[in-house]
Structures are given as structure tokens and as C-alpha cells.
Structure 1
Amino acid sequence: MTIDEERPKPAKGLSNLGNTCFYNSTAQCLMHTHALYSWQEKVTEEKELIIKKNTVVVNEKKVDVPAAVITLKETTSLPLVSALQHFLAEFRVGRGPNPQPLFSQIAVKAPRFRGWAQQDAHELLRYLLDGIRTEELKRFKEAIFAHMGVQDKPTPEQMLTCKAMLESTDRCYIDSIFAGSLLQIISCSKCKHMSNSLEPFLDLSLPLNYGAPSTPTVQVFFPPNNRREGTPSKHQIKKTKKKEKREAKEAARKNKKVAPVENGNNAETLPPLLSTEETNPTTASADTMDDIKAIDENSDTDDASSTEDMSVSDNESNENSNHFDEANETMENKSSSPNYVAVLSPQPPEEDASEARTVLNSLKHFTAPENLCASNAYECENCCAPHNKALPPNSKDKMTVEATKRYLIYSPPSVLTVHLKRFEQVPMNTFGNRMRTRKIRGHVEFPFVLDMAPFCARIGQRVRHGQQEVIYSLYGIVSHSGDLGGGHYVAYVKSRNKVEELKQFMEAGMKPDRLCQTMEKLNNGTEPQEQVKSSSLNKDEILQKLDENATWYYASDSHVRQINVNEVKNAEAYILFYERIL
């Protein structure tokens, strides 16, 4: 491992543009995301798109893709990408960045941020990263269409070819930083048949209430093409969502006049938590993935909060994403081998019997097996599907069985962003037919060094054979004080050395996840090809190198001060930023 010669830079304050502490706190963490500076160089220096010879199945059609080298346009044609590059460049040369240009470009993509009202920091992050990804893919698509000689609106056949070519190249660069994937494992309790599928994520939203088991929430960036077995039907999902939207709207309307929390000069008024249809552009629980919304890249002024404009039906494929087929591919097997569900290392023991709110406890619940039974019983493709195929479409006699469902991390990202679900919908009455939003307040314990191996699948990618630890180091925290009606966002950021090893995790992140190939090799008794190399240093040595000259800072808009680790430990974390070091 080598440390970049560039010295750690002190944090710089950001001017409040008018209730923009939610933006400034998030931007502070991005300013201290070392991987983004590699992205900044890569996206600028890359002049060509390399298409590999390949045969791809798109929309159930086989497409032969010839090898090609395609010229890319300059990034100056990408307004959001250019704004983020300039913002990072200012900090890199030691200046305090002007937050206005980048924020203005985010507001162009998502007009909801134009009103200078306090907003949610997590939503801001999602809109920003989704917007960057959309522009990167738009750049790829335009280059491919120019290479194909398409001048007007492409034909369906040309769109198919374009998608196949996107599947035959590496991922967009922003994905190499934040993107990972979850392995969903469903095991039939009757015939022991196992179904495995991948679900991509940009960050993980972890539960803070550990009552009844709930399906994990992941931040995704494109919808799957096919409904997964074991999930509710699209009709059931839509019916449930409409009811939730009505209840959320009513709760939001009644919460509008909540008094702001006084925080001295830093007090800012928060609007009520957004109703269901106005939340993150790409937020969805894992059992409502059919209704995930996608940003329409064809409109620079599209308000991404309008989910009606962003919806993509089950029969439509999302041209905004490359490698969506691989990321959502399903591999079925009849083996009950524990290799398919084993983790890299055993989970740590329970911290205490009281189920204290900690990141580790939240991760345990996130990856805990869930029983599928009663109204959520599973239609097994092995023992139920043959019987059900002979029935009329709307038959009530469909056969279902009990099953277990579990999520494990298949591809750990270069930068792991953890969102703690502090805002939740709770019933307003005993009947549960009206909902209100509340914040889960108080300290949530978080580790400075996080080992994700107990939550990673043994068969996953971006890990070495026999690897026992997947280590992340904390470098940024977005903290929210106050309640729904008012409050203030601040950031805690770590100025530290750069670790060159991060680049190999980003390079591995450029490659698509191939679940089917991994499973086939395991079934044949061979191990998948390793994507990352071992480090010459152990965990403690890497952490020691990282912490040389390292300093933690507290940043509240333009006010910045150096702090000690104990102050960081007491932060009321809302979003945590971890970089992978091993």
C-alpha cells in the first residue's frame, strides 16, 4: 500500500445560501470523499468508450455486439458533472468552494430544491448521485448513437443495439464509487429449492426499530425488468401504495405548522417529511421494487419528485442504466449447499440483550432471514409453478408455500454510505388507518472501523478467496439535530491521507456483477476469478498510515473547527460515509 504524497487538507466552510445546511453538510462529506477525486480525473481524461465483442440478451432478444472504440464528448456538455468537478477542484487547491453553482445545477435537475426551504440531506445526496449517473450514461448513449449514425429519434432496433453495447462496456464511473449489490436468497421450506437474485444499491438504509422483521431498504438506481418471485403482485403493490400515499399526504398536511426547534442562530425551519410519492427519486423497499422510479434523462428540468413522470412499467427497460440485466439476473438452483448462503466470517455476538440502537445491530436486522408465510407466502418456481400454470390467471387456488428470504451483500462498494432511518411513519390511531411521521431521536452508536464481512456473501464479488475481513474506515457524518418541524444539519469530516489501494476497489467496481457465472463456476467446483489483490499491509498497519496527520473537523455551514474523536463519537448520525481500505 502507498499513501498519496498530497497532504491532508483542512476542512473549509460553505456559505449558507438560505436554509441550505442540508446541502452543505452533504457537500462537506463529498469534499472529503477521496474516490471522487479519482472520478474527477477519470471522467475528464477518458476520451473513448471501449465496447467489447459480446452476445447480449436484451428484452429476450439475442444481440451480437461487435468490438468498437467510440469517441466520447467532453464533459463540458454535462452540466451537473462539470459543476461537481469544479466544486471539488476548488477544494483540492485549498480554496473554500463556492456552493452556489453545484446547488443550482441540482435544482435544475430537481426543481423541488429551488424554493430555499429546508430539505432532507439524504434526498439531496440521492438526487445528486442519480443526476451524475444519468449524465454519464447520456454521454455514453450519445456517443454510441453517433457511432451508429443515428441523427434523429432512434428506432426500437437501434435502441436495442445501443442497450446491448452499453451492456458490453464497463459501468459508468460514479458507480465504481458508490454502487454495490445485494444477493437475495429465497429458500423453499417444502422442496428446499433456492432462488438467488441480485439487487443493486447506491446506499443502504438501515432500520432503527427492531420490532417485527421488515424487508431491508436499499437505494437503487434502476428498476428490474422482471418481478421477483416471493413478492406481492403489481396490483397488490399499487393498491397498497395508493393507500399509503393518501395517508402520508394527510399526515404531511397536518404536520405543516409544527414550530421550529430553536438552535440559536443556526435554527432552520424544516418542512414536514415528504409524502410517499415525493421521497427519494430512487428509494424503494425491496418488496416494492416493481414501482421504483427512474429519472428521465431527456429533460434537464424534469422535477424528479414527480413520480408519475418518472415511472417505468414492468414491460419497459430502463435505457438509463447499463448492466441492469446482470445486476438483476436470477440464478435458480436446487442445491441446499451452505456455500450459497454462507457469509465471509461469523457475525459478532449480540452487543446486549436490550437491542441497543447501533449500526451493527441494524446491519444484523438488515441481513436477518425473514419468514415468508400467510399472506406473504412464496410461490415456489419449483413446486408451485407447475400447479399454478394450469390455473386461470386470477384463480384464488394458487399454491404457495412457506419460505425464508435473506439479503447479504454480494459486491461491497468502494464507498459505503449508510443512511439511518430516523424518520418513520406510525399510526395516528388504534385502527392504523391514519399515519403520522416522527423522528427517532437520540444517539446511535457507530463504529469508526467497520467490518462488513459478517454481512457479505461468501460467493460475492470484489473480495479475495478466503478473505475474512472487509474493512471500512469512517470519514464523514451528516448529523441532524432537532425534530421534524425544525432543526439543523452539520457535518463531521476526517481530513486524512489517501490510500492508493482504494483505486483497485474502484477498478473492480467498474466490472459488472455476474451472478450466473459465479454460480455456474461454484456448481462446477471452481472458484470465481478474484477481482481484488491482497494488500502488503494488514488492517492495523493501513489504519495507522491513514491516521498519520489525520484531523476531525466539525462543519456547520461556514463555521469550521477542529475537534477530538470523543466529540465525533457523540454525533447524532443520520448519514455515515465509510471508505473501503481492505
Structure 2
Amino acid sequence: MRLKDPFSLKVVGMTKRTNKPRKPRDEESSDEVSGLTCQHVSKAVDLSSVKKAVTSSMWSMCSDCLRERTMIDGEPASGHDILVCLKCGFQGCSQSESQHSTKHHQTLHPESHCITVSLGTWKAWCFECNEELSTHCNKKALAQTLDFLQKHSVKAASDAFGWTGLKEEPSDYADQSRGKSPVNNCTLVLVKGINNLGNTCFFNAVMQNLSQTHMLNDLIQDVKEKGHKLKICPPGALTVTLPSPEPLTSAMFLFLHSVKESGKGPANPKILFNQLCQKAPRFKGYQQQDSQELLHYLLDSMRVEETKRIKAGILKSFNNPTEKTADDETKRQVKAYGKEGVTMNFVDRIFVGELTNTIMCEECEHISTVKEAFIDISLPVIEERVVLPKYDNCVHFATLLTEKKSDKVYTSARKQMLISSLPPVVTLHLKRFHQAGMNLRKVNRHVNFPLILDLAPFCSASCKNLVAGERVLYSLYGIVEHSGSMRGGHYTAYVKVRWPQRRTEQPNRRNMAGPREASSATQGQWVYVSDTNVHAVPESRVLNSQAYLLFYEEML
């Protein structure tokens, strides 16, 4: 049961300091004040007491829950449920039935134990003012205490860093593609914390999900070195030798490799992040950024690098012809192999699908069709509903009434968007940030999402590799969550440690999983990751998360 969270709801018995214009309860606006100047800081913040308390107690765990042996979903309150009192260093839960952080404030002198910091979002909150506080608008003691807690969190993770793993069956993705037999040795998939370089939680949350994308880990092995062989066909089989991988792709391989290493503390993403900033300068400066935009820039940049690499390999196979030296037949072959080869990069093979947009004029019934590639599918968080849109009202897949301009005359038209090609990994983006007049708002409401998603109703009749009447099941394995508001928030990740699936012997046949297969495919352990903070969580907590990105893999 999830009760009131002081960072999202009004605490019982407290009154607001100021009256603000009413707006939807679950929306935050970008034009709101950046934080409150609090009169209680001088009495309610004691850095020396906080240092003494947190260094002598279990980090990121509710002290009273441990003493009373109180459990939330079978586990003690921990992680982003914990608030630290900045007067005495008490760590108490905020979302359990016990509400120990609130009781701590009410039991002791309210005005001197009223300011807390969330270990999940690193936001300061005053119970007396019933407001979030800004470290810029208050005394230095508040910023210094927050800085100490953040450094202590990193140190605690480094000293006994959290990683979770399951004994895993061998994967067949890469071994079969390289002509090798599957290995018999079991490996261990780790969930390792990632150091925050400065407001890079948006990057860390995405990287946790990519680290748990088994197919990415397998296929990127092929691109790590110069001389990899790639077989392209049609029009006829052509084996090309690829040059060395480009900098960003190489950095991605090194990062994924470092995540698998045990015993070395949290992973350092600096090399990979710096390479990304070279491709996308907008991420320089360590400002708050958007995880969905980060995912697009990262995958697109690696896709461009691999496309360039494949084209270079094709040209080398034809002795690097130029416009002047190449005859018409050579030009035709280079173009044909290039068209086929560029889609064989690992980004396309894993993440890229195809949507078919069909528009029909209601007057003349003329039909036009346009195909477009997608890396993710954006879904609106509908005002009246708190569930993922159903088949009949989903904006991306349902039939909609639009206006079509032709010969300077507007006419009614119907638009339909269906999936015409499914990738092995489907990413759903919940559009929580939207424009409202001159302001940008965030929708904070909870959205229900399935653990097993059947995409068959959203596929076109000509969808590749889809047999009529079959279900197309995808299993959830990762989430990027955004908590907080437009003026300040925090990205975290939920990932499932699980066995990799084996490739079927019939590659053109998608899954036909029944109840038994669907149940067994969901086995694994969910893990919550907030930068360097890593711990296992029950499935119920995952389903209660405020999802922003959802990662689904096809069930084989």
C-alpha cells in the first residue's frame, strides 16, 4: 500500500504557506518558483549530527522498520522511500503504512526536526512549510549537508557496491552468427551502479536498460575489432571486411564490458558520455536532460557510425571505385549492396521497426501510404484514463479523424498507423511532458502497463514475420522512471535480471507463446537502480513506478 509522499501530496495536518492557483493535481508547470526560502533552516539543519548518525547506521534503510521488522512488499523500506532528517540524521520511510519519517517529525520538536532530504530524488522538504526547498535560496548549511549525503551515498556504494545477478544459460545470438557452437559455460549478468557525473541520472537510467538488453550485449561483440566479416545478400552473396569501429561504438562496447566486471565498484561512464557529447553537444554542461532524447541521440549516432563502416567495407570489396573509375554495373552493384547492407547494423537489427501511415480521403476515398522507421513508439498519457491506451483509442494505432488540405480546400480524412515491421526490442515512450499554452507541464499520474504485451492487434496485415491469427508477445524487462517535477527531478531504472532467450530454429516464425510459455518467460529478479544505489525489489513495486520509458523484448 502506498500512502502519502511528502514530495507529491500534502501532509495530513499541515497547511500551505501560500495559496497558489489551482491546476491539475498531477501536473507540474515549468514556470513555478524554483524553491522556497525557509525560516526553519537555521534550527533544523545540523551537519555534524547528520555525519555522526549516518556513518554509524545502516545506509538507506528505515531505522524504525528494521527495529520493528516492518516489511513493505516483503522487504524493509529502503532506497527512494527513505527521508533523512537534517537535524539528527534519522533515516525514515515515507511510503509505508508506518510513515516513520512523518512520525519522527511529529514526535520530536517539530520546528527543529522538520527538514528532510529524499535519498531517491535528493530534494529537500520542510514539513512545517509543507514545501520543497531550494539549496540556492537558503543558508549554506543546507547545501553542505546535501553534498555530504550525496558523497556518502557514493562511498557506501563503492565500499560494498550493490550488484545483483542470476546464473544464466548461454546465449545463441552471437555464437551462431559467427559460426560457433553455443558455449556451455554459465555466465553472470550483473546489475552494477553507475557513477553520476553531474546531473547525468538521465543517462545512467537509459544505460542500465541497455546493459540488460541481451541482444545488444551479444551483437556488439561483432563490432569491437577491425576485420569483422559481414555477409550481404541479395543480389548475390558478398562477404565484406569491416574497418575498425568508430569512437562512440567502441566506447559503448567498453562500457558494457565494464558493467559485467565484478569487484570494481560502480561503473564509470565518462568515456562513453564524452563520446556522445562529441556527437550531440547539447548534452555538454551537465544540465538536466531528457532520457528519451538521450536514447534517440545515442542509438542514432551509433547507427550512423555503423552505416559508414559498412559502406566503407562494401567499397573496399570493389577496390574503392570512384565516380570516374566505376562502370555502370559496378555502380549498380555498390548501390544494391549498400541499400541492403546499411540495415544490417546492430542498432537496426535490435531496435528499429517500421510504421505504416495510411490516410484515406472520406470524399474521394483516395488512399495514400507512407512508411517510416521508428526507434520507439510515443504514447500520450490520456487525461481521462490512467491505463495504457486500448486498441480502439490508441493515438498511434487507431483510426483518427484529421484534416487534409488539397487544392486549397480542407476535407475530412481518416488516418491509421500500424506496425509493418517489428524489432526484437520495442521501446514505449509515455509522453509525460507536454505543452500547455506558454508553459511546459509534466503529467505525474500513474499509468498501468502490462508485463506481457501482445502487439498483434497493432500490426498491419502485411507485417513481416507475422502469421495471421498468432499473438505477438513481448515481455517487459526494463523501465526508466522520472520522479519529481519540471523544475527538478530524478531518473532511475528498474531492470529485470533474467536468463537470455534462445533463438528459434525458424527465424521467420515469431512467438506463438501460450499461457505456459508466457508465464515461464517472466521469471527473473527485478532490480531498482538509482545511480550507484542498487537493490532487488518485488514486482509489485515495479508496477507502481511512474514509468517514462518501457523496454519490451520479444518472447521467443
Shared fold by TM > 0.5? yes
- On the 8 A contact 1:7/1:497 being kept in 2, the answer is no
- On the 8 A contact 1:189/1:402 being kept in 2, the answer is yes
User: Counterpart in 2 of 1:90?
Assistant: 258
- On the 8 A contact 1:29/1:493 being kept in 2, the answer is yes
Aligned mates of 2:390, 2:276 — CA distance in 1: 33
- Going from structure 1 to structure 2, the CA distance change for 1:407 and 1:187 (only over 3 Å counts) comes to same
Aligned mates of 1:451, 1:412 — CA distance in 2: 12
Aligned mates of 1:450, 1:363 — CA distance in 2: 17
User: Counterpart in 1 of 2:385?
Assistant: 355
- Going from structure 1 to structure 2, the CA distance change for 1:401 and 1:116 (only over 3 Å counts) comes to closer
Aligned mates of 1:533, 1:574 — CA distance in 2: 27
The answer to whether the aligner puts 1:417 opposite 2:417 as a matched pair is no
- What is the Cα deviation at residue 137 of structure 1? 0.4
Mapping for residues 317-332 of structure 1, pairs under 5 Å: none
- What is the Cα deviation at residue 47 of structure 1? 2.2
Mapping for residues 75-154 of structure 1, pairs under 5 Å: 75=245, 78-94=246-262, 96-150=266-320
Mapping for residues 306-455 of structure 1, pairs under 5 Å: 354-358=384-388, 360=390, 364-373=394-403, 376-377=404-405, 379=406, 401-427=411-437, 435-455=438-458
More contact order relative to length (CA 8 Å, sep ≥ 6): 1
- Going from structure 1 to structure 2, the CA distance change for 1:559 and 1:363 (only over 3 Å counts) comes to farther
Aligned mates of 2:187, 2:230 — CA distance in 1: 33
Mapping for residues 94-243 of structure 1, pairs under 5 Å: 94=262, 96-150=266-320, 162-169=334-341, 170-209=343-382
SS at match of 1:497: coil
Match 1:532 to one of 488, 506, 509: 509
User: Counterpart in 2 of 1:332?
Assistant: none
What does the per-residue CA deviation read over 1:149-202, in whole Å, with 9 as the maximum and x for residues that have no partner?
A: 448899999988654331133532211110111111222323434333321101
Aligned mates of 1:155, 1:436 — CA distance in 2: 57
User: Counterpart in 2 of 1:460?
Assistant: 463
Letter matched to residue 454 of structure 1: P
- What is the Cα deviation at residue 371 of structure 1? 2.1
What does the per-residue CA deviation read over 1:6-61, in whole Å, with 9 as the maximum and x for residues that have no partner?
A: 4563421111111111111111111111111122233348823434354xxxxxxx
- What is the Cα deviation at residue 144 of structure 1? 2.6
Letter matched to residue 445 of structure 1: N
Letter matched to residue 339 of structure 2: E
User: Counterpart in 1 of 2:484?
Assistant: 482
- What is the Cα deviation at residue 361 of structure 1? 7.0
- Going from structure 1 to structure 2, the CA distance change for 1:184 and 1:551 (only over 3 Å counts) comes to same
Aligned mates of 2:358, 2:223 — CA distance in 1: 35
What does the per-residue CA deviation read over 1:548-568, in whole Å, with 9 as the maximum and x for residues that have no partner?
A: 4x1111111001111111111
SS at match of 1:206: strand
What does the per-residue CA deviation read over 1:44-87, in whole Å, with 9 as the maximum and x for residues that have no partner?
A: 48823434354xxxxxxxxxxx7643221133xx1111111111
- Going from structure 1 to structure 2, the CA distance change for 1:38 and 1:542 (only over 3 Å counts) comes to farther
The answer to whether the aligner puts 1:25 opposite 2:205 as a matched pair is yes
User: Counterpart in 2 of 1:222?
Assistant: none
Aligned mates of 2:518, 2:205 — CA distance in 1: 25
Aligned mates of 1:547, 1:146 — CA distance in 2: 45
- On the 8 A contact 2:196/2:204 being kept in 1, the answer is yes
- On the 8 A contact 1:42/1:173 being kept in 2, the answer is no
- Percent identical among aligned pairs is 38
- What is the Cα deviation at residue 422 of structure 1? 0.8
TM-score where L is the length of structure 1: 0.58
SS at match of 2:346: coil
Aligned mates of 2:305, 2:486 — CA distance in 1: 33
What does the per-residue CA deviation read over 1:397-430, in whole Å, with 9 as the maximum and x for residues that have no partner?
A: 5566532110011112110111111111111xxx
The answer to whether the aligner puts 1:48 opposite 2:23 as a matched pair is no
Aligned mates of 1:154, 1:441 — CA distance in 2: 60
Answer with 1 or 2: which has the greater Rg: 2
What does the per-residue CA deviation read over 1:469-495, in whole Å, with 9 as the maximum and x for residues that have no partner?
A: 111111111111111111111111111
- On the 8 A contact 2:378/2:429 being kept in 1, the answer is yes
What does the per-residue CA deviation read over 1:96-149, in whole Å, with 9 as the maximum and x for residues that have no partner?
A: 432222111111111222211121111111111011101100101222333344
Aligned mates of 1:15, 1:554 — CA distance in 2: 15
- Going from structure 1 to structure 2, the CA distance change for 1:555 and 1:168 (only over 3 Å counts) comes to closer
SS at match of 1:117: coil
Aligned mates of 1:10, 1:67 — CA distance in 2: 39
- What is the Cα deviation at residue 90 of structure 1? 2.2
- What is the Cα deviation at residue 451 of structure 1? 1.0
User: Counterpart in 2 of 1:11?
Assistant: 191
- On the 8 A contact 1:72/1:143 being kept in 2, the answer is yes
- On the 8 A contact 1:444/1:572 being kept in 2, the answer is yes
Letter matched to residue 103 of structure 1: F
Aligned mates of 1:474, 1:534 — CA distance in 2: 15
- Going from structure 1 to structure 2, the CA distance change for 1:494 and 1:67 (only over 3 Å counts) comes to closer
- What is the Cα deviation at residue 448 of structure 1? 1.0
Pairwise CA RMSD: 3.0
- On the 8 A contact 2:392/2:398 being kept in 1, the answer is no
Mapping for residues 229-308 of structure 1, pairs under 5 Å: none
The answer to whether the aligner puts 1:557 opposite 2:551 as a matched pair is no
The answer to whether the aligner puts 1:541 opposite 2:516 as a matched pair is yes
SS at match of 1:407: strand
SS at match of 1:168: helix
Question: How many residues are treated as equivalent by the alignment?
Answer: 369
Aligned mates of 1:16, 1:132 — CA distance in 2: 22
What does the per-residue CA deviation read over 1:193-218, in whole Å, with 9 as the maximum and x for residues that have no partner?
A: 433332110111111236xxxxxxxx
Aligned mates of 1:122, 1:419 — CA distance in 2: 7
TM-score where L is the length of structure 2: 0.61
Aligned mates of 2:505, 2:480 — CA distance in 1: 25
